[in-house]
Amino acid sequence: MVSGGKVIVAKFGGKTLSDGSRVRAAAEMVVKAVKNGLKPVVVVSAIGHTTDDLIKLAREASENRISPEDLDDILSMGERTSARVFASVLKTFSLEAVYLDPCMDEWPIITNDVFGNAEPILPLTYERIKRVVKPLVEKNIVPVIPGFIGKTLDGRTTTLGRGGSDITALLIGKALDSEKVVLVSDVDGIMTGDPKVVSNPKVLKEVDVKTLAGLADSDVKFIKKKTLKYKPSNISVKLISFKTGSLDAEGTTIKGSLSNPGLKFDVEVCEKNVAALTVVGRNITSRPEVLAKLLKAIGDCGLSPLGISTDSDSIILYIPETKGVEAAKRAHSVVLENQEVLIAVALKRKLSMVRVKGLGLEETPGIIFKISGPLKERGMNIHGMLTITSSVVVILDRDKVEEAAKLIDESLNRGGNHG
pLDDT at residue 28 in the model: 98
Residues 192 and 121 in one domain: yes
Give the type of residue at 90: L
Residue 41, domain CATH: 3.40.1160.10
Q: What percent of the chain has pLDDT over 70?
A: 92
pLDDT at residue 362 in the model: 66
pLDDT at residue 218 in the model: 47
pLDDT at residue 220 in the model: 46
pLDDT lower than 70: segments of the chain: 1-5, 214-222, 259-263, 359-360, 362-364, 389, 415-419
Total domains in the fold of the chain: 2
Give residue 370's domain range: 266-413
Residues 143 and 275 in one domain: no
pLDDT at residue 191 in the model: 86
Q: What is the rounded distance in angstroms from the CA atom of residue 19 to the CA atom of residue 89?
A: 13
Residue 402, domain CATH: 3.30.2130.10
Q: What is the rounded distance in angstroms from the CA atom of residue 205 to the CA atom of residue 299?
A: 36
Residues 221 and 337 in one domain: no
How far CA 373 is from CA of 355, 377, 418, in Å, comes to 16, 6, 6
What is the CB neighbour count within 10 angstroms for residue 197? 10
pLDDT at residue 136 in the model: 97
Residues 51 and 142 in one domain: yes
Indicate if the alpha-carbon torsion angle 135, 137, 142, 144 is positive or negative: positive
pLDDT at residue 2 in the model: 57
Indicate if the alpha-carbon torsion angle 49, 160, 249, 219 is positive or negative: positive
Beta strands in 256-378 (DSSP E): 266-281, 307-311, 314-320, 342-357
pLDDT at residue 3 in the model: 53
Is there a domain that residue 418 lies in? Answer: no
pLDDT at residue 363 in the model: 64
pLDDT at residue 271 in the model: 93
Query: Are 103 and 152 in contact, with CB atoms under 8 Å apart?
Result: no
Select from 208, 224, 255 the last residue of a domain: 255
What is the CB neighbour count within 10 angstroms for residue 235? 18
- DSSP per-residue letters across 96-109: -EEE--TTSTT-S-
pLDDT at residue 417 in the model: 38
Q: What is the rounded distance in angstroms from the CA atom of residue 385 to the CA atom of residue 407?
A: 16
Residues 91 and 200 in one domain: yes
